[in-house]
Amino acid sequence: MRKSEIDSMGFEDGRITGFMPRFRSIDDDWERYTDALVELVDRGVVAHEKGRSLYDLYLQDLNEWLTEFYFEEKRFDQIEAHYTPSGEVSFGPISDGHLTVLDRLQAMGEGARVRRIWRSHMGLIKGEFWWYISERNAGFRIAKYYQASEQKQSRDYEKLISRIPTMKQELLAIMADYRKTAEMTGASETELTRIHADIAAIDAEKRPRPKGKPDPRRMDENLFWDLIDEGLTDQPIGERIDTLPERLAAFKATAIRDFEKIQRSLDARAYRWDVWALAYLLQGGCSDDAFEDFRGWLILQGREVFEGAIADPDSFDVTLHSGTASGINGLRDAAPVAYEMRQGKAMKPVKMPLMDVAGTEIAEENFASALPRVAALVGR
């Protein structure tokens, strides 16, 4: 945030006065607000009690406060983007705070947005459930890269799959709530039929096997992108991750394995310093793990966005990013889950060489100068 903006700010009743959202995203305004708060603490304008974090003192209700600005301006696209999971969620129901926002959207006639947010959340937690099921069905196997004894690995495996009964009951309860919301917001018969089918599959702990002969097409990069791009314009990321395994299961086993090889090769193509700089600038920081998540998210944005970012990271459309980015786990799980649906057994791991960050190394403090256009647009 610019010094001139902070100079005009004060502090009263636990809140910065004079702060105005930019309305790029709630996450972006959260970061701007916290940057301003730290600066005001340094200037002595805001008191900071020793032993207590700024979050505990002043930020616990910041998300709700910022969201109110967006509701007042009817910035429904940004609200939807903020409350739609971007690729990873903790297993469990939507939080009470999020449900309050969804109820408000529903009351304002935005039922379609409410269903999209629900579908994204449901798609992601269903994906986690099905991963646990696939691990159980594959049985215990020793992981050579894991520095632990066979006995410990076996105990860890048993502990992991012992969660399945509880997860199943939680998921069925969440799906029942989802069904009620879908019915109240005018979901189509097709959508309701899909919900009923999902509930039946979860209850049986088994996804339906593909019917008919497998699609004979060879999996190449064009077909890979066709599968990734399907639903890109009208489905949330969580829903697309959820349906990807069943769409992929329509192909032969060799094609499913080739899908994973292509996904890994694209991930490696994006493992570059300038793309890391892009992720850092968009997110206000980016660890190694966060960059891995970002690359998965970038692939899930579709071929045009991915190839544009690879060709010139500084040309990236920053409006596509709403503060967080993930999805690599859903991508990596797609082929193994699809293979099991097609073949009825676990897929052997696809071996790929270790990756090194490509391109000329860029120091963190030089990320903004390396991508000046993006840096200027996001205020870095």
pLDDT single digits (tens) 273-327: 999 999 999 988 888 888 998 999 999 999 999 999 999 999 999 888 876 677 7
Q: Which two tokens stand for residue 6?
A: 């902070």
Cα dist from 312 to 274, 339, 365, 370, 376, whole Å:
9, 35, 20, 11, 16
18-27, 68-77, 331-340: which has the highest mean pLDDT?
68-77
User: pTM value?
Assistant: 0.78
User: How would residue 255 be classed by pLDDT, with cut points 50, 70 and 90?
Assistant: very high
Q: 284 — phi, psi (to 5°)? A: 70, 30
pLDDT at site 233: 81
52-56, 126-130, 206-210, 252-256: which has the highest mean pLDDT?
252-256
Please provide the average confidence, as pLDDT, over all residues in the chain: 90
Q: What span, in angstroms and rounded, lies between the C-alpha atoms of 52 and 247?
A: 50
pLDDT at site 323: 65
pLDDT at site 331: 84
pLDDT at site 325: 74
Q: Looking at the predicted structure, is the pLDDT value of residue 144 above 80?
A: no
The answer to whether the beta carbons of residues 110 and 351 sit under 8 Å apart is no
Q: Which two tokens stand for residue 1?
A: 């945030």
Q: Looking at the predicted structure, is the pLDDT value of residue 107 above 90?
A: yes
Give the residue among 267, 285, 272 at the shortest CA–CA distance from 368.
285
Q: Looking at the predicted structure, is the pLDDT value of residue 367 above 70?
A: yes
User: How would residue 344 be classed by pLDDT, with cut points 50, 70 and 90?
Assistant: confident
Q: What is the mean pLDDT of residues 32-46?
A: 91
Q: What span, in angstroms and rounded, lies between the C-alpha atoms of 150 and 278?
A: 41
Between these two residues, 123 and 75, which has the higher pLDDT value?
75
Between these two residues, 144 and 28, which has the higher pLDDT value?
28
Q: Which two tokens stand for residue 27?
A: 């996450």
Percent of the chain with pLDDT over 70: 99
User: How would residue 166 be classed by pLDDT, with cut points 50, 70 and 90?
Assistant: very high
pLDDT at site 378: 83
pLDDT at site 1: 66
Percent of the chain with pLDDT over 90: 57
Q: What is the mean pLDDT of residues 112-120?
A: 91
Between these two residues, 377 and 225, which has the higher pLDDT value?
225
pLDDT at site 79: 94
Q: Looking at the predicted structure, is the pLDDT value of residue 355 above 90?
A: no
Q: Which two tokens stand for residue 106?
A: 């529903």
Running DSSP on this structure, what letter comes out for residue 364?
G
- In this structure, of 29-43, 76-90, 255-269, the range with the lowest mean pLDDT score is 76-90
